[in-house]
Amino acid sequence: MQKTITGVFALNDPTAHAELLVLRRGGEALKNYRLNDTTLYVTAEPCPMCASALIHGRVSRLVFGALEPKFGAVKSKMKLLEDYAFNHHVDVDHGVLEKECIEKIKTFLRKREKQPRSRASRGRLHRKGGWDLTTFDHRPSTFQKRGEVAEWLKAPLSKSGSPER
């Protein structure tokens, strides 16, 4: 099992969503870009970029807690993983620990708002469905290969989100 959080702001990389960072680490660990028989656990619903990466990476299953009403690409705004035109299907379970996930997001946002930063890096907050959210800079993600816990989990992350060697 591998955990990570987003690096969008820390790495100044708009593609450094937690899902992508953990998929990269999984690919490196398995020595294959195809992550067959894997499950990705995330706090909130993935965006279109991350949902597409799940298809390309052949992730078998996605589990997430909270819907993302602004950019969700699995159940909310779009339903990319239900489109059978793609060459791979990802099984989806959502609403798992939903209240806890929403609280985790709220806690993250409260802490983030207290941190001093430049106006350019602040991002916009939106009020939807009774809870505040930003665009995917708040979700820890987890990658698991059939329940195994591997040595690579202990490796520190480099700036790119890959394990240091």
Instruction: Count Cβ atoms below 10 Å from residue 164 Cβ, excluding itself.
Output: 9
The pLDDT of residue 14:
85
What tokens does 106 get? 């709220």
pLDDT, position 6: 64
Q: Which of the following is catalytic: 19, 82, 148, 151?
A: 19
Query: For residue 111, what pLDDT is reported?
Result: 83
DSSP for 18-51, written as a single string: HHHHHHHHHHHHHTSS--TTEEEEEEE---HHHH
Asked about 68 being catalytic, the answer comes back as no
Q: What is the chain's pLDDT, residue by residue, as a tens digit (165 residues)?
A: 555 566 666 777 888 888 999 999 999 999 999 999 999 999 999 999 999 999 999 999 999 999 999 999 999 999 999 988 899 999 999 999 999 999 988 888 888 788 776 544 444 434 344 333 333 333 344 444 444 433 434 445 555 554 454
The pairing of beta strand 131-133 with beta strand 126-128: antiparallel
At 149 the pLDDT is: 38
